[in-house]
Every structure is written in C-alpha cells, then in structure tokens.
C-alpha cells in the first residue's frame, strides 16, 4: 500500500469500477490529479500521455478552458431544469437541433440521458415500445455481438457480449438477448479466407440465427461501427454491407452504437459514414461533451418517433425519462464542444494525423510480441501473440496484456489492455509530435515487457 492517507482512504472506502478489486485491496490505485492537453499527472506528480483519452472520451484533452467557461456560464444562468411535463430549456433544444443537423439521414428526434449505457437502454425500451405500437408484440429479441460493449445496466450488460459483465450478475436477463460472432478477422479467419469471405460468413451466421429464432421474434441488431470494449476491433471489409440487407429483409432495426465512434474518432463525424451504415437509431455520448460533462443522446427515425406519439395518445403520456436527462449544463457543454469541433475542423485534423498514428503503431508489427495492428482514424488495437506464424494467442492466465499495460504505464503512457489487445484512442487533438512520443513510449513498454518475460523464462 502507498504510505499516503489519500491512497489509504481509497482502499478503505472506495469501490473502483471495472477493476481487479483483490489487487486494488493490496496495491491501491493510481489517482490522477490534473491534466494538460493530452497529458495527465498523478497525485505523485508523474506525467503520462493519455493514449485512451480516459475512457475513449476526452477528445479535447484535459485542459480546454472554453468548456469550463461554458459550464460556468450555464450554472449561473439556469443550473438545472428538467424536460418532463412539457417543460424544457434552450440548451437541450439547441443541442437536439444541432445533432439532427449532423446526424446520418433519416434520424429526426433526440432523447437525452447521462451515459452511454442509458442511451442504449433507452434505445432498447423504445424498440420494444415501437413494436408494441405497430402491433408486433412478439418482435422483441435483440442481437448483439460477442465482445460487443453497450453498457452496464441490466439490459445493456445483457446485450453486451462480455462474459465478465454477466457472470454472477445473473445476466443475461431473460431470453431476449442473442449474440453473433465477433468480427475480429485477424483472430478468427480460417486459413485462406479473405476479409470479404469472412464478412460473408459472419452475415450467413446472422441470417441463420434469424431464421432459427424466427424473424417475427427479432426486433433489432446493435453494433458499434468499431468495437471498442471488445478490443478496438475494426470491421472487416464488406462486413456492414453484407449484414444490412439481411436486417432490412427481415424488418429488423439497425442500432448504431456510436458511443465511442461518434464525433470524429474514425476520421468522419460518424462511424456510420466511415462504414456506410444507415441506422434506424444512433446512440452517442462520450465525445459529445468531450467528457467534460456526463451526457448521452439517442437519435431516432421518424417512424419510431411517430410510435411514441401514438403510445402517448394511448397512455396519456410518454412514460420514460430521467431527472438529469438533458441537463442544461451538460447540454451547454455539448454545444460548445460541437462548436469547437467545427471551428478547429477536428474531423479534418483526425484525417491529417491518422496516417502518423496508424503507421507509427503498425511499425510494431515487427516486434516479437505483436501479431497484428489495425485501426482507423484515431482508434487502433495492437494484438499480442505468442506465436505469430500459427496465430497462437498467449495463455490468458499469463496476463501478458496487463504486463504490457503496466510497462507502458512505467514509461509514461496510459493504454488499455483488453485481454491481449492493447487499445489506443488518444484525444482527438493529439499532434504528430505527441503521436511520435506516444509511439516511443509504447516501444519502451513493449521492450520492457518482452525483457521481463525472457527473464522469467530463464529463471
């Protein structure tokens, strides 16, 4: 344990999220104290490049004064108001208007919540409500993907394909949640199979599941354009092109979970643009406020909105809402964030620096620990492999990903090990010089991990 009262209190009283709590109980946590651009500093003064932008969210880094000012101004004008009972406020209305202006075609209305989980949870509720209004009460099952990540509520953790978020939580709940294979081409393609053939196989599996369950029972398919929590996995070529016609044919809605990809991460405003997706519902959060305030949005199409009106007529009210959904301070920060993205041409910036980012990481393909590097825009995953020639992964019990993450940390770089994939999603404002430093520190971390493994093997 660290001999510091803050760290002692942390161990004594605080339950960390998504953490090995047994290890935390013994060793405590790294507590961050301040930020500057793409850098953060811990309570002991150590500096790190935050190559995960926190949790894929601090797009404008950790010291954007304009966002603090926008929050302060709104706190003075109207610190709180809700959007229940036909009341509301300007920041929520203006932000909804702005989001629809930016959104893929066909989306017309916005619901606000505080988190990505709630955005997807709301999407699930609306889908069930919609199918009840249109006289299809049997059409309720939802399809997610293995290693997909859609949130932590009871429903969204059920929809996610993350075993550790379900085991011992008695999830998935009920029989409405189905899963198809993970589209990690590098890991799961068969010998000689091209990306297009792999995508066709994924699509055939989806269609077989729909036929087995009966299309009349299936309401929606949820997908992240690039899978984040699954390991920063970009879809193989032709994947979404193969899947979308099948969903259309069977009257199944497509929900694009843009909680990570939205607002420039993939080099376009939306991951949907990057991959040619036409969603019926789009959920977003994180970079919507550059993470300076908790806020998420669920964007819906006109037919779904019409169902909400019909249901409201039937029941006297639309029976859904959160006290802090569309909080005025969060919406004011969201509006300022979107203004900064436009003024600084943030999407263009991502396109300009992405080659340095992707090539810089791809250079590690030659490292003895690295099997594959894939990414798009400013999101990438580095897959560690025990034997590259045979694509044999490490024994998960060895926790090689965690070792690399730890050695990177010691080199002043925050990355995230997802199993044995190392994820990178730096703040969108990162410069080429900072990318070069990030890659240098990653090299140091990889080398240190490799040396530690060799030392262990030789004892």
- Binding residues for ligand PMP (CB under 6 A): 55, 115-117, 120, 149-152, 224, 228-229, 257, 259-260, 285
The rounded distance, in Å, linking the Cα atoms of 320 and 326 is 13
Say which residue the tokens 């660290």 belong to.
2
Q: Do the Cβ atoms of 223 and 371 come closer than 8 Å?
A: no
Minimum CB distance to ligand PMP smaller for 150 or for 201: 150
Nearest approach, Cβ of residue 162 and ligand PMP (Å): 11
Minimum CB distance to ligand PMP smaller for 133 or for 296: 296
Question: Which of 385, 396, 356, 399 lies closest to 23, judged by CA?
Answer: 399
Nearest approach, Cβ of residue 1 and ligand PMP (Å): 29
Residue number closest to ligand PMP, CB atom: 116
Q: Do the Cβ atoms of 282 and 107 come closer than 8 Å?
A: yes
Q: Do the Cβ atoms of 308 and 318 come closer than 8 Å?
A: yes
Nearest approach, Cβ of residue 167 and ligand PMP (Å): 19
The rounded distance, in Å, linking the Cα atoms of 71 and 314 is 39
Question: Which of 378, 379, 367 lies closest to 451, judged by CA?
Answer: 367
Helix (H) or strand (E) holding 418: strand 416-418
Minimum CB distance to ligand PMP smaller for 161 or for 228: 228
Nearest approach, Cβ of residue 268 and ligand PMP (Å): 17
Nearest approach, Cβ of residue 121 and ligand PMP (Å): 9
Nearest approach, Cβ of residue 230 and ligand PMP (Å): 9
Minimum CB distance to ligand PMP smaller for 259 or for 417: 259
DSSP E strand stretches across 329-398: 370-376, 379-384
Tokens of 450: 């490799």
Percentage helix, strand, coil for the chain under 3-state DSSP, each rounded to 5: 45, 15, 40
Minimum CB distance to ligand PMP smaller for 153 or for 444: 153
- The DSSP bridge pattern shows strands 416-418 and 421-424 to be antiparallel
Nearest approach, Cβ of residue 380 and ligand PMP (Å): 15
Question: Which of 69, 103, 53 lies closest to 262, judged by CA?
Answer: 103
Minimum CB distance to ligand PMP smaller for 277 or for 446: 277
Minimum CB distance to ligand PMP smaller for 118 or for 372: 118
Nearest approach, Cβ of residue 368 and ligand PMP (Å): 31
Minimum CB distance to ligand PMP smaller for 259 or for 413: 259
Minimum CB distance to ligand PMP smaller for 139 or for 145: 145
Say which residue the tokens 């779904």 belong to.
304
The rounded distance, in Å, linking the Cα atoms of 160 and 120 is 11
SS (H, E, C) 83-107: CCCCCCCHHHHHHHHHHHHHCCCCE
Question: Residue 274: which residues within 8 A CB-CB, separation 6 or more?
Answer: 225, 261, 266, 267, 268, 376, 377
Minimum CB distance to ligand PMP smaller for 260 or for 304: 260
Nearest approach, Cβ of residue 152 and ligand PMP (Å): 6
Helix (H) or strand (E) holding 81: none
What backbone torsions phi and psi does residue 235 show, to the nearest 5 degrees? -70, 150
Nearest approach, Cβ of residue 235 and ligand PMP (Å): 14
């Amino acid at each position: 344990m660290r001999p510091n009262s803050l760290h002692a209190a942390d161990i004594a009283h605080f339950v960390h999220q998504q953490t090995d709590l047994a290890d935390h109980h013994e060793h405590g946590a790294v507590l961050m104290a301040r930020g500057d651009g793409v850098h953060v500093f811990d309570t002991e003064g150590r500096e790190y490049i935050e190559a995960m932008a926190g949790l894929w969210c601090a797009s404008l880094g950790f010291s954007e004064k304009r966002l603090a000012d926008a929050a302060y101004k709104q706190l003075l004008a109207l610190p709180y108001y809700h959007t229940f009972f036909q009341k509301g406020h300007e920041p929520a209305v203006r932000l909804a208007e702005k989001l629809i202006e930016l959104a893929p075609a066909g989306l017309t209305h916005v619901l606000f919540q505080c988190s990505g989980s709630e955005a997807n949870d709301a999407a699930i509720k609306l889908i069930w409500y919609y199918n009840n209004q249109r006289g299809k009460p049997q059409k309720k099952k939802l399809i997610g993907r293995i290693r997909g990540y859609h949130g932590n509520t009871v429903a969204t953790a059920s929809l996610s394909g993350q075993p550790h978020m379900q085991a011992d939580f008695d999830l998935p709940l009920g029989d409405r949640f189905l899963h198809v294979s993970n589209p990690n081409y590098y890991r799961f393609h068969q010998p000689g199979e091209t990306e297009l053939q792999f995508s066709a196989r994924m699509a055939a599996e989806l269609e077989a599941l729909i036929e087995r369950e009966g299309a009349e029972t299936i309401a929606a398919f949820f997908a992240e354009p690039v899978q984040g929590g699954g390991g920063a996995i970009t879809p193989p070529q032709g994947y979404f092109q193969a899947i979308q016609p099948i969903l259309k044919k069977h009257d199944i809605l497509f929900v694009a979970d843009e909680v990570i990809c939205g607002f420039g991460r993939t080099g376009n405003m939306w991951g949907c643009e990057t991959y040619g997706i036409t969603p019926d519902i789009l959920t977003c959060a994180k970079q919507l406020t550059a993470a300076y305030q908790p806020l998420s949005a669920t964007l819906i199409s006109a037919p779904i909105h019409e169902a909400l009106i019909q249901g409201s007529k039937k029941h006297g009210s639309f029976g859904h809402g959160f006290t802090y959904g569309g909080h005025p301070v969060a919406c004011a920060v969201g509006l300022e964030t979107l203004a900064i993205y436009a003024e600084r041409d943030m999407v263009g910036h991502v396109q300009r620096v992405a080659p340095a980012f992707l090539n810089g990481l791809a250079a590690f393909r030659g490292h003895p620990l690295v099997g594959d590097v894939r990414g798009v825009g400013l999101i990438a995953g580095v897959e560690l492999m025990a034997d590259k020639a045979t694509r044999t992964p490490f024994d998960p019990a060895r926790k090689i990903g965690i070792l690399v993450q730890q050695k990177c940390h010691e080199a002043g770089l925050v990355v995230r090990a997802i199993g044995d994939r190392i994820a990178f999603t730096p703040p969108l404002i990162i410069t080429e010089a900072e990318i070069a430093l990030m890659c240098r520190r990653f090299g140091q971390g990889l080398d240190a991990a490799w040396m530690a493994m060799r030392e262990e093997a030789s004892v």
